[in-house]
Amino acid sequence: METHEGNPSCSGVIVMYHYVRPLSRTRFPRLSGLDVDRFRRQVKHLSRNHTFIRQQDLVDAFAGKAELPPAPCLLTFDDGYSDHFGYVAPILDELGVPGVFFPPRSAMLRTAVLDVNKVQFLLASGCEAGHLAAEIERYYLANGGTTEEVGSLRSRLAHANRWDPAEVIYVKRLLQHALPSEVRAEICRRLFQKYVSADEAAFAEELYLSVEQARMMWRAGFEFGGHGDRHLWHGLSDPSEQAAEIGGARDLLRMIADDGERGLAYCFPFGSHDEQTISLLKDSGFCLAFGTKSERFSPVESDRFNLPRIDTNDAEGMTLL
């Protein structure tokens, strides 16, 4: 574990956001996200207990070049959604609050919807998770899978967590990593077309940031970091896939920021990584990496290549000093 011998009083929070939108007024009110009005209230609440910092402040603190203020707070936004340009950036700009954004490279091409997002919109489409799970199993059985394999997958994966019931987790894990990659991709394509949109390219253009929008945000003072290429589970990917994910992220940062070689930080999709991931990040010049462990961070105790982040749903309850 790499730590920084800095000011021990700097324990703070890094908050993780994804979708931020006026949910009740969208086509997908069941989407798991944060309503834009609550986001504004949350940022104001955080400001009462913390000092907002930039990603570069963290880079400098871990390099021993600067100390963080008491009770620092960094706001991070994953996945490169147009929400971040249309709703998040204007609110942060109005309130004078910094933020760092982590778009996957392929999302910014805006020609196809990433499988991770196809799954999210499938679950938000009104089609029940149990029905989706049955369709997935039928397709898998019709394309070489066995009933024994399906039974094993269900036994291993269908377990509720604090966010989702068992059947939802089962659908997510089947289509995120458990089934063979080609099977997953084809199932996602078919179900997305059936239940969400027949025009995937148009949906992607509406869903994601464009490179120009990201550059506008960067010129306005917002920061960007790496988040892979196709948003794969890095810890379940082979070294060549991991290298492609990290290389794609580097390419995108060079497209967005004129200082794309400075203060490089990475955000693990799903929080997933292994020792190979860390080695590749270091070889590629990254200084920090963010995970998904829900706890405070400290420059003295936290691993700079697996910094914890608090989910937005927990942020308001973890701001008391």
Considering the domain architecture, whether residues 257 and 305 belong to the same structural domain is answered as yes
Under the banding of pLDDT at 50, 70 and 90, the label for residue 82 is very high
In a domain, 268, yes or no: yes
pLDDT over 50 at 2, yes or no: no
pLDDT over 70 at 8, yes or no: no
Q: Are 158 and 169 in contact (CB under 8 A)?
A: yes
In a domain, 1, yes or no: no
**How high is the pLDDT of residue 7?**
45
Considering the domain architecture, whether residues 100 and 212 belong to the same structural domain is answered as yes
* Domain span at 153: 115-202
Q: Are 249 and 227 in contact (CB under 8 A)?
A: yes
**How high is the pLDDT of residue 301?**
83
Considering the domain architecture, whether residues 44 and 93 belong to the same structural domain is answered as yes
Considering the domain architecture, whether residues 100 and 125 belong to the same structural domain is answered as no
The model carries a pTM of: 0.92
**How high is the pLDDT of residue 6?**
40
In a domain, 180, yes or no: yes
pLDDT over 60 at 1, yes or no: no
Residue position matching structure tokens 């004129």? 258
**How high is the pLDDT of residue 5?**
39
Considering the domain architecture, whether residues 100 and 239 belong to the same structural domain is answered as yes
Task: Choose one of 202, 233, 258: the last residue of a domain.
Answer: 202
pLDDT over 60 at 319, yes or no: no
**Span 303-319, mean pLDDT?**
84
Considering the domain architecture, whether residues 104 and 126 belong to the same structural domain is answered as no
Considering the domain architecture, whether residues 198 and 286 belong to the same structural domain is answered as no
The closest of 72, 50, 102, 100 to 302, measured between CA atoms, is: 72
Residue position matching structure tokens 């290389």? 247
**Span 97-106, mean pLDDT?**
97
**Could you give the 3-state DSSP secondary structure of residue 157?**
helix
pLDDT over 80 at 320, yes or no: no
Task: Choose one of 178, 202, 226: the last residue of a domain.
Answer: 202
Under the banding of pLDDT at 50, 70 and 90, the label for residue 208 is very high
Considering the domain architecture, whether residues 172 and 309 belong to the same structural domain is answered as no
Structure tokens at 308: 């914890």
**How high is the pLDDT of residue 321?**
38
The rounded distance, in Å, linking the Cα atoms of 268 and 277 is: 9
Considering the domain architecture, whether residues 244 and 297 belong to the same structural domain is answered as yes
Under the banding of pLDDT at 50, 70 and 90, the label for residue 49 is confident
Express each pLDDT in 121-135 by its tens digit.
Answer: 999 999 999 999 999
In a domain, 2, yes or no: no
pLDDT over 50 at 258, yes or no: yes
**Span 262-274, mean pLDDT?**
92
Considering the domain architecture, whether residues 105 and 220 belong to the same structural domain is answered as yes
Q: Are 296 and 13 in contact (CB under 8 A)?
A: yes
Neighbours of 131 (CB within 10 A): 12
Domain tally, the chain:
2
CATH of the domain at 70: 3.20.20.370
Considering the domain architecture, whether residues 22 and 105 belong to the same structural domain is answered as yes
**How high is the pLDDT of residue 198?**
97
The closest of 200, 182, 176 to 140, measured between CA atoms, is: 182
The rounded distance, in Å, linking the Cα atoms of 107 and 31 is: 18
Considering the domain architecture, whether residues 245 and 229 belong to the same structural domain is answered as yes
Task: Choose one of 139, 168, 202: the last residue of a domain.
Answer: 202
Q: Are 246 and 281 in contact (CB under 8 A)?
A: yes
The rounded distance, in Å, linking the Cα atoms of 74 and 81 is: 19
In a domain, 64, yes or no: yes
pLDDT over 60 at 277, yes or no: yes
In a domain, 286, yes or no: yes
Under the banding of pLDDT at 50, 70 and 90, the label for residue 10 is low
pLDDT over 80 at 262, yes or no: no
**How high is the pLDDT of residue 260?**
64
**How high is the pLDDT of residue 318?**
57
**How high is the pLDDT of residue 288?**
95
Q: Are 33 and 21 in contact (CB under 8 A)?
A: yes
**Span 91-114, mean pLDDT?**
96
